[in-house]
Amino acid sequence: MRRHGDREIWRYGVSQSPCLSSMSMGKNMDYDVAIIGSGIGGSALAAILARHGQRVVVFEARSHPRFAIGESLILETSEMMRALAHFYDVPELAYFSTENFLPFAGTTHGIKRHFGFLHHQSGQLHDRRRTLQAVIPKEPHGHELHLYRQDTDYFMMSTAVAYGATVVQNSPVNDIEPLADQVVIRTASGRPVTANYVVDAGGFRSVLAQKFGVRDFDLQTHSRGMFTHMINVPCYHQTGDSQEAYGLPFRMSEGTLHHLFDGGWLWVIPFNNHAEATNPLCSVGLLLDPRQYPPRDDLTPEEEFFAFIAQFPSIAAQFANAHAVRDWTRAGRLQYTSNQVVGDRWALLGHAAGFIDPLFSKGLYASLTAVFILAHRLLQAKQTGDYSAAAFADLQTVTQNDVRAADRLVANSYRSFKDYRLWQVYAVMWLLGAYTELVKLNMMRAQAGADRQAYYDQLITLKLVGGGYPAFEAVAQQVDGIMAAVDTADETAVTTAVAEINQIFRSLDWIADPFIALLDGKTYLPKNKIRLSLLKPGAGFMGNGAYKAHFFGDLTMRDLLVYGAKEKVQFARPYLAWQHKKLYQERAKR
């Protein structure tokens, strides 16, 4: 316990058992739950809780629509959106999970058909062999989106209001006081508000994280960033070699493009990359390791951006006529975590708890996973009255595991950018982790049916990548160990490390053939990921005892095919349009 002014603040480690101080004593609160921040995370949580009858208030410092970053989706994020919509019966939460929702989600969002990577060397035109186009499978749900966050967040916030949440905009919270029997939230104006529980979804400047001094910066990754929205950013193939010359399934503008180089990378996320698009903007961000490229306070962010990319002729050509349409944001080191994520009557959500780097776009996946866990626990707490740190301990474990996993992956990726041969093999580590995580998420939903507790029990075992598969963890440990130890400036050491990592991947009987093809020099993943080789009873995925047991459990091949076909129908445009119309008619009658 410690004192704050004349009040007592109780803090418990999450290992402690529920205590009376954090049990609801039946006192009359203004709200069940108060949420700080109406970004996609805070608003999604508010919508779920309000949908289930909880009294929810959300405080937002600014007012919608407002600029936000975090625009590139990954399959795991989209699947988590479907899971949230399904298990909490809030269909709107799936509206950004596939291109097939565009008629309802709006045409200001871009489409993402691949994750594209071009590795550059200073002073040289891009070498086409240094390419990876990680094509995103279209089946069964359709391709993914680039989120125009001012619109997605406004929509999510409005959805929360539609389900009954109170949202107070232009109201920065400046103090939160978790007490024994309630939480008191204070804004600059207005009377203090009380609630049973507070969720801080306010991002890096989280009021609670600052108040309790829980920030931890002891992380491997070091990057700083500058980003904005631009116009006149052409498709890479208009200024560089053609799609045909690269021999790629998709144009680079049809996905999220990452320009990689020693010491950093640059994202290109177009919103104007499909026939239905109505948004001319393209999101652009540059990430640099500050140990290699210290901050340039002598330059504006825009001057620094153009001065930096001038050394890479193929990147500079793509931005020759580009203009920012809003002020650049420049941020210092981006990495942080929190040594405490939950306390009695409070929790930090997603970005408020930790962040590593936008590389691989894991941020929203981690945030929405946290929404799932918190919503489940808060619905239970409403019944039991137990708002203790112990009751919410899973959130701390999962959040901290996610941040550490992202840190390891991103730090070693930055190391790999120093020598293309390292990136070529380490990219397979990233892909394997993402792919297995996605398979697990899909199968968890398939197996759980309507049983949210069963899904939750599996979800809390995941660690951002690898789908909780022990054999994956073992591989990751080996490969990351090699990556962390290799002297990237020593050619011979790199050659040895690359050979060792190659050997590790090639010895796995559960790795997909297209990943091995990347090790052999192929520059893209095939459009069709469903390979007959996966179904071979002897050596395929369904034949390996441990792999099958972990990911597919009792599901038979027939079950999987039926489930896949059902998902395809349920996420196809005609079915979604029918569902949408039905929902509209039901609501119009009320």
Residues forming a β-bridge with 197: 33
Among the residue ranges 4-12, 61-69, 244-252, 317-325, the one whose residues contact ligand FAD (CB under 6 A): 61-69
Residue 350 as a binder of ligand FAD (CB under 6 A): the answer is yes
Q: Of the listed pieces 351-359, 499-507, 517-525, 544-552, which binds ligand FAD according to CB under 6 A?
A: 351-359
Question: Rounded distance, CA 554 to CA 253, Å?
Answer: 41
Return the closest-CA partner of residue 279 out of 268, 287, 271.
271
**Closest CB 412 distance from ligand FAD, rounded Å:** 19
Identity of the residue, 96 or 505, whose beta carbon is nearer to ligand FAD in the bound complex:
96
Q: How far apart are CA 329 and CA 421, in angstroms?
A: 33
- Does 62 bind ligand FAD (CB under 6 A)? Our answer is yes
CB 25 within 8 A of CB 32: no
Closest CB to ligand FAD among residues 207, 475 = 207
Piece of the chain touching ligand FAD by CB under 6 A; list 347-355, 429-437, 447-455, 546-554:
347-355
- Cβ proximity to ligand FAD: between 9 and 364 the closer is 364
34 binds ligand FAD (CB under 6 A): no
**Which of 203, 240, 270, 354 is the binder for ligand FAD (CB under 6 A)?**
203
Q: Is 252 in the site for ligand FAD (CB under 6 A)?
A: no
Phi/psi at 330 (nearest 5 deg)? -120, 125
Question: Which of 34, 61, 257, 410 forms a contact with ligand FAD (CB under 6 A)?
Answer: 61
Q: Degrees (nearest 5) of the Cα angle 543, 438, 545?
A: 20
Does 40 engage in binding with ligand FAD (CB under 6 A)? yes
Stretch that binds ligand FAD, among 38-46, 96-104, 135-143, 517-525 (CB under 6 A): 38-46
Query: Could you tell me which of 76, 42, 82 has the C-alpha nearest to residue 361?
Result: 76
Instruction: Count other Cβ atoms within 10 Å, centred on residue 190.
Output: 11
When binding is defined by CB under 6 A, the residue of 93, 160, 198, 334 that contacts ligand FAD is 334
Nearer to ligand FAD, 208 or 498 (CB): 208
Regarding 70 and contact with ligand FAD (CB under 6 A), the answer is: yes
Of 9, 34, 51, 60, the residue at the interface with ligand FAD (CB under 6 A) is 60
DSSP β-ladder status, 264-270 and 282-288: antiparallel
Alpha helices in 163-269 (DSSP H): 207-212, 236-239, 243-246
Residue whose C-alpha is closest to residue 18's, from 393, 394, 461, 453? 393
Cα distance between residue 467 and residue 487, in whole Å = 30
Q: Minimal distance in Å, beta carbon 419 to ligand FAD?
A: 26
**Which amino acid is located at 222 in the chain?**
H
Q: Should residue 173 be labelled a site residue for ligand FAD when binding is judged by CB under 6 A?
A: yes
By C-beta, is 305 or 541 nearer to ligand FAD?
Answer: 305
Contact between 230 and 324 under an 8 Å Cβ cutoff? The reply is yes
| Residue 305 in the binding site for ligand FAD (CB under 6 A) | no
| Closer residue to ligand FAD, CB minimum distance, 304 or 419 | 304
- Strand spans (E) along 432-576: none
List 386's β-bridge partners, or say none.
Answer: 23
Q: Which of residues 444-473 bind ligand FAD (CB under 6 A)?
A: none
Token code pair at residue 61: 């410092």
Q: How far is the CB of 17 from ligand FAD (least distance, A)?
A: 29
Stretch that binds ligand FAD, among 40-48, 296-304, 426-434, 572-580 (CB under 6 A): 40-48
| Sole residue written with tokens 């200073």 | 122
CB 167, min distance to ligand FAD, A: 11
Name, in order, each residue with C-beta under 8 angstroms of 534's C-beta and a sequence gap of 6 or more.
Answer: 512, 540, 541, 542
- Contact set with ligand FAD (CB under 6 A): 36-42, 59-62, 68-72, 77, 172-173, 201-203, 205, 207, 225, 227, 285, 334, 349-351, 355, 358, 361, 363-364, 367
